[in-house]
């Protein structure tokens, strides 16, 4: 575990370290760990009882936790799904079905070919990507602030989905540098289990 990340290591440097650490995993290892993470996610009470779940479409070039097995399981459970899309500089939720065609857009992100924005007030769970997470539930993202603004908007609008980060255990640090706009998570799921913060 990387210790004392907020003393002398800035967020930009930490992003590089964590991305390199994640990319150092073999594809087979990432795949196996992603399957383990999927198993924990689909058994979480928040997910089992959810109707509508927001989940990211993983980017393999960034060595993210693969969400494909989670999406398959959620679809088989009959969950309504939405995925992030960027509109007017902000992240919003678009309806997604398992056979929908997708296209690559800015930052390597995928989004549906046909975008239908959903009513986010019905979201029960949001599953987020991250580069690092700490013992307090703070996450380090890619530096664009999309998810922090989304979560802040949810809070201001009284929308309270469970905030669950997906990560490999090697992405954990003791303490991240935190800015006033950083939004904490309720839980992080990794290949060995679930860490809850609330």
* Annotated catalytic residue 148: yes
Average pLDDT of span 71-89: 95
HSE-CB for 105 with a 13 A CA cutoff: 15
Tell me the C-alpha distance between 158 and 179, whole Å.
Answer: 22
Hey, where are the domains in the chain?
11-196
Pairwise pLDDT comparison (142 vs 128), residue with the higher score: 128
* Annotated catalytic residue 21: no
Q: At 188, phi and psi to the nearest 5? A: -130, 135
43-68 pLDDT, tens digit each:
999 999 999 999 999 998 999 999 99
- The DSSP line for 125-192 is EEEE--SEE-TTS-EE--SS-HHHHHHHHHHHTT---EEEEE--GGGBBS-----TT----SEEEETT
Catalytic residue among 22, 134, 163, 182: 182
Structure tokens at 118: 């959903």
Query: What CATH number does the domain located at 11-196 have?
Result: 3.40.50.10420
* Annotated catalytic residue 72: no
Residue 5: pLDDT above 80?
no
Catalytic residue among 148, 149, 172, 186: 148
Residue 2: pLDDT above 60?
no
10-37 pLDDT, tens digit each:
888 999 999 999 999 999 999 999 999 9
Q: At 191, phi and psi to the nearest 5? A: -70, -15
Tell me the C-alpha distance between 62 and 60, whole Å.
Answer: 5
Residues 94/112/53/136 CA torsion (nearest 10 deg): -90
Catalytic residue among 22, 30, 139, 163: 139
């Amino acid at each position: 575990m990387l210790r004392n990340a907020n003393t002398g290591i800035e967020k930009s440097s930490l992003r590089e370290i964590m991305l390199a650490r994640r990319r150092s995993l073999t594809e087979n290892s990432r795949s196996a760990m992603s399957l383990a993470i999927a198993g924990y996610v689909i058994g979480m009470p928040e997910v089992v009882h959810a109707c509508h779940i927001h989940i990211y479409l993983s980017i393999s070039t960034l060595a993210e936790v693969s969400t494909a097995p989670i999406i398959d399981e959620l679809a088989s459970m009959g969950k309504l799904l939405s995925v992030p899309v960027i509109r007017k500089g902000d992240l919003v939720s678009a309806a997604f079905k398992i056979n929908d065609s997708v296209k690559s857009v800015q930052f390597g992100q995928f989004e549906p070919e046909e975008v239908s924005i959903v009513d986010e007030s019905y979201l029960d769970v949001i599953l987020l990507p991250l580069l690092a997470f700490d013992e307090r539930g703070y996450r380090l993202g890619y530096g664009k602030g999309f998810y922090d603004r989304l979560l802040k908007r949810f809070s201001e609008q009284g929308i309270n989905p469970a905030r669950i980060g997906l990560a490999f255990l090697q992405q954990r640090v003791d303490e991240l540098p935190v800015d006033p706009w950083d939004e904490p998570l309720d839980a992080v799921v990794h290949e060995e289990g679930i860490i809850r913060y609330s």
